[in-house]
């Protein structure tokens, strides 16, 4: 698997400070979480070198900060292989028509040729989209996986990678315990904020809480258990299990927007919010139970 950062995020309009800050956040996030590297090419290197000479044009951030981001972009590149894109000719119809391109024509040519290379060679990759492109639904190819906001996206491919342990740096995901069933707060704190906003606005729903609960569980390394979810169908919920021994089970609470925690027996241990703050015990154990066999 390879990484690609949406060029329209790196080469966004000079006055778009929000994109600049998200780019910085994204690079730090990728460096912290993933072992994978960004595809390097003969067309990308000169573009980054030019960016290094005049980094991000008229952004108001200090020049030192701009140069630091360019340096981190270079560090993110795969130095084991530099692909040749200059021999490709631009092609139509590869990139969704709703995709918002960069203001830089040379950058758009690079991206067009990069997508051609990825499709031709069936390169599985994750494409970190610019905020301008978060709403794109049309896929480029089945093996090009979109990642929208690194902290706010629901039903994300990023959560799948974390749940399955694919491409992650060693020990970056803290294993859950009964005392700390959701220990990776840095990956889930925005979902607690989303929950609070939904409740405050009157937009909370079963579907919303199912979505949030699943994202939070997967981002803490749990696996979705389809069988247990199916046989525990007396209530609307989804069930997840840890990869650790003894197993910890989670059940989404769609009434309050929380997660019920069970030990391996499975006995109810309490209710947790999306950042792992757990209320121990249960006033009614019969109300909070799951079965492991039908």
Q: What is the pLDDT of residue 156?
A: 98
Residue 294, token pair as written in the block = 């039908």
Q: Which of 41, 42, 38, 33 is nearest to 9 (CA)?
A: 38
Q: What is the pLDDT of residue 60?
A: 75
Residue 77, token pair as written in the block = 């590149």
For residue 168, the cross-strand partners are 34
Q: What is the pLDDT of residue 279?
A: 84
Residue 92, token pair as written in the block = 């139509």
Q: What is the pLDDT of residue 235?
A: 86
- Report the predicted TM-score, pTM, of the whole model to 2 decimal places: 0.93
Q: What is the pLDDT of residue 196?
A: 97
Asked if residue 280 has a cis previous peptide bond (ω within 30° of 0), the answer is no
Long-range contacts of the stretch 9-13 (C-beta < 8 A, 24+): 9/128, 9/129, 9/130, 9/131, 9/132, 10/51, 10/73, 10/102, 10/107, 11/47, 11/51, 11/102, 11/103, 11/104, 11/107, 12/102, 12/103, 12/130, 12/132, 13/103
Measured between alpha carbons, how far is 28 from 32 in angstroms, rounded to an integer? 6
Note the helical H segments in the chain. Answer: 7-10, 17-33, 44-53, 63-75, 105-120, 157-164, 189-201, 206-219, 226-231
3-class SS shares of the chain: helix, strand, coil, % to 5: 35, 15, 45
Longest dimension (CA), the chain: 68
Measured between alpha carbons, how far is 235 from 256 in angstroms, rounded to an integer? 14
Cα separation values, 46 from 40, 41, 106, 151, Å:
11, 9, 10, 31
Cα separation values, 128 from 23, 188, 286, Å:
10, 18, 44
Q: What is the pLDDT of residue 59?
A: 75
Tens-of-pLDDT digits for all 294 residues of the chain?
999 999 999 998 766 888 999 999 999 999 999 999 999 999 999 999 998 888 887 777 788 888 999 999 999 999 999 999 999 999 999 999 999 999 999 999 999 999 999 999 999 999 999 999 999 999 999 999 999 999 999 999 999 999 999 999 999 999 999 999 999 999 999 999 999 999 999 999 999 999 999 999 999 999 999 999 999 988 899 999 999 999 999 999 999 999 999 999 999 999 999 999 988 766 565 567 899 998
Measured between alpha carbons, how far is 2 from 126 in angstroms, rounded to an integer? 6
């Amino acid at each position: 698997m390879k990484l690609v950062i949406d060029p329209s995020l790196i080469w966004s309009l000079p006055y778009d400070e929000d994109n600049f800050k998200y780019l910085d956040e994204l690079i730090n996030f990728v460096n912290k979480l993933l072992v994978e590297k960004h595809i390097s090419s003969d067309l990308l290197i000169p573009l980054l070198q030019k960016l290094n000479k005049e980094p991000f044009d008229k952004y108001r951030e200090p020049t030192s900060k701009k140069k630091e981001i360019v340096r981190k972009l270079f560090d993110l590149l795969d130095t084991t292989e530099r692909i040749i894109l200059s021999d490709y000719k631009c092609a139509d119809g590869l990139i969704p028509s709703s995709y918002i391109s960069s203001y830089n024509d040379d950058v758009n040519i690079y991206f067009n040729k990069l997508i051609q290379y990825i499709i031709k060679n069936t390169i599985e990759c994750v494409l970190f989209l610019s905020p301008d492109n978060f709403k794109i639904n049309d896929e480029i190819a089945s093996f090009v996986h979109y990642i929208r906001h690194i902290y706010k996206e629901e039903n994300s491919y990023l959560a799948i990678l974390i749940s399955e342990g694919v491409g992650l740096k060693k020990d970056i995901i803290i294993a859950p315990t009964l005392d700390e069933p959701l220990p990776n707060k840095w990956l889930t704190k925005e979902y607690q904020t989303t929950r609070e906003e939904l409740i405050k606005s009157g937009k909370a729903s079963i579907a919303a809480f199912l979505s949030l609960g699943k994202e939070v569980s997967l981002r803490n390394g749990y696996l979705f258990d389809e069988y247990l979810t199916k046989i525990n169908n007396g209530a609307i919920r989804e069930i997840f299990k840890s990869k650790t021994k003894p197993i910890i089970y989670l059940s989404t609470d769609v009434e309050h927007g929380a997660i019920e925690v069970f030990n391996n027996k499975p006995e109810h241990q309490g209710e947790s919010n999306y950042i792992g703050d757990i209320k121990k015990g249960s006033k009614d154990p019969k109300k909070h139970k799951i079965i492991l066999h039908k």
